[in-house]
Amino acid sequence: MEQNSLVSVVMPVYNVEKYLAEAVDSVLRQTYDAWELILVDDGSTDTSGEMCDFYANKDCRIRVIHQDNAGLSGARNTGIANAKGEYLLFVDSDDYISNNALQDMIETAREERADCILFEMAQFDDLSKQTKIYAQYKEEDFRGNRQAVNILRKLLQTQEYQAMACGYMINCKFLKNIHLLFQRGILHEDELFTLQYMLQCEKIALVDHTCYYYRVRENSIMHDKKNIVQKGNSLLFIISQLIELYKIYENDDTRKECLDLRLRHMYMRVMALYFDGGLKTQIKMNSQMKECMKQILDLDREWIRDKEVQTTCKKYGWIGLKTDLKYRISKRNI
């Protein structure tokens, strides 16, 4: 790694005139100055696009790409395609990073020769401004063998794993070599992107303090209850893709275990969304949902014995799979 390795900061921008200045200014305040900021104006209809141009004229390290609306995944993919740095960091345009964030990440990457850097994150409420820890890791999980897949397994086992792509600084060249992009047309796209990257990268290291501040907005797409059907369909699509990955890693026990753990999590998220999140009132248990859940069970894995899974299944009495699930559990003498 060069002494002043370039970091590409990719920031998708869509109708965030209220927040954009805080996000961009946090990059401008960095103590580490070898960075480029790629502002992808994703068809904004407010003044966000003009604000991007203003910042680009202010600092030559800032580049602006104006495009028709392609969604968060499409905007991030544009940023990836245009990134010139050795490392890449995604920053959402309503969030911000600490002044020393890039410095600490680069120093850790250099010392550990890692191609994936994790860091702690804080979440703050847009209304109350109250801040709380969002992602926090145990330093001991990163000692010894730093092989990425082993650390990934630990994080999944301890439920410290975070899927948010903004929570990682990643090796840009490696990312492009594996031809990994964000899946367009779905919500929760980070669930696929982050896990696929971590399953393939070689070494992970940790910055053990808060570098990223994540804003919770009531009107954001992820908190909009009107998107309940899209959320459900997106989760089902992600599950189907994870099942395909499971088949690819059929002879790799560690990676299969990682996928087992995440599939368990996704399984329960769909159940919770259906019964507690209001999806049940929007659609009936359709064939896509039944088939996806059955595919998970058909993999015949040991996590069906997991107490958390059993408790969740018992709580919801999983309609459509209730008989099938009880049969499978009884066959295992649970």
User: What does the alpha-carbon distance between residue 190 and residue 180 come to, in Å, rounded to a whole number?
Assistant: 12
Across the chain, mean pLDDT equals: 84
What is Dmax (Cα atoms) for the chain? 68
- The reply to whether 321 falls in a domain is yes
Instruction: Count Cα atoms within 13 angstroms, Cβ side, for 221.
Output: 13
Residues 234 and 207 in one domain: no
Length of the chain: 334
Query: Could you say which of 222, 237, 253 is where a domain stops?
Result: 222
Which pTM value belongs to this model?
0.86
Residues 45 and 170 in one domain: yes
Residues 87 and 217 in one domain: yes
**Using one digit for the tens of pLDDT, what is the confidence trace for 271-318?**
777 666 555 555 555 566 666 666 665 654 555 556 666 666 666 555
Query: Could you say which of 200, 222, 244 is where a domain stops?
Result: 222
**Using one digit for the tens of pLDDT, what is the confidence trace for 43-80?**
999 999 999 999 999 999 999 999 999 999 999 999 99
Residues 197 and 248 in one domain: no
Range of the domain at 284: 225-331
Residues 176 and 282 in one domain: no
Q: With beta carbons less than 8 A apart as the criterion, state whether 93 and 14 touch.
A: yes
Residues 75 and 185 in one domain: yes
DSSP 333: T
Residues 305 and 274 in one domain: yes
Residues 41 and 153 in one domain: yes
User: What does the alpha-carbon distance between residue 167 and residue 36 come to, in Å, rounded to a whole number?
Assistant: 18
CATH for 189: 3.90.550.10
- The reply to whether 172 falls in a domain is yes
- The reply to whether 270 falls in a domain is yes
Residues 152 and 250 in one domain: no
- The reply to whether 208 falls in a domain is yes
Helix (H, G, I), strand (E, B) or coil at 294: helix
Residues 37 and 132 in one domain: yes
- The reply to whether 2 falls in a domain is no
Owner of token pair 């790799």? 252
Please, what is the end-to-end C-alpha distance for the chain in angstroms? 52
Q: How many helices (H) and strands (E) does the chain have?
A: 13, 9
Query: Which of 2 and 213 is assigned the larger pLDDT?
Result: 213
Confidence grade of residue 125 (pLDDT, cut at 50, 70, 90): confident
Residues 172 and 93 in one domain: yes
Instruction: Count Cα atoms within 13 angstroms, Cβ side, for 29.
Output: 12
Residue 322, pLDDT score? 43
Query: Could you say which of 206, 222, 238 is where a domain stops?
Result: 222
Q: What total number of domains does the chain contain?
A: 2
Residues 30 and 53 in one domain: yes
